[in-house]
Amino acid sequence: MAIIITDECINCGACEPECPNNAIYDAGASWRFSDGTELRGVIDFGDGNTLNAEEAQAAISDDIYYIVPDKCTECVGFHDEPQCAAVCPVDCCVDDENVRETEEELIAKKEWLHMEG
């Protein structure tokens, strides 16, 4: 799974600095795979798709903070629980039912993002 920020978000920003993968962005802000990770240059997703890690990607939300699912590891390998959910004053950081990943997949994503192992 990944975490999603619901529309109950009050845009306080408490979650953003807590993310070890820099997967949380302010409303309307573009994002990059290279932000807060070790990914640089052309990255290969293993399915025939490639992308420049430093290339700005379009914001997922223009209204509230948002989480990039491809960068979210639910803090697996860093913390015992998702830190965004732990610090959110209105409990709007919740499981994204549309993105399901096993713990092994989340660990593999962490290792890929941070060029470990």
For the stretch 12-60, pLDDT in tens is: 999 999 999 999 999 999 999 999 999 999 999 889 999 999 999 999 9
What CA–CA distance (Å, rounded) separates 27 from 104?
Answer: 30
Which domain range does residue 107 map to?
A: 1-116
**pLDDT for the residue 45:** 85
CB atoms < 10 A from the CB of 86, how many?
14
**pLDDT for the residue 104:** 96
With beta carbons less than 8 A apart as the criterion, state whether 37 and 21 touch. yes
Give the containing element (helix H, strand E) for 105. helix 103-113
pLDDT(65) > 90: yes
* Number of domains making up the chain: 1
**pLDDT for the residue 46:** 86
Query: pTM for the whole thing?
Result: 0.94
CATH code assigned at 39: 3.30.70.20
| C-alpha distance from residue 98 to each of 1, 3, 94, 112 (Å) | 8, 10, 12, 22
Give the containing element (helix H, strand E) for 113. helix 103-113
For the stretch 72-92, pLDDT in tens is: 999 999 999 999 999 999 999
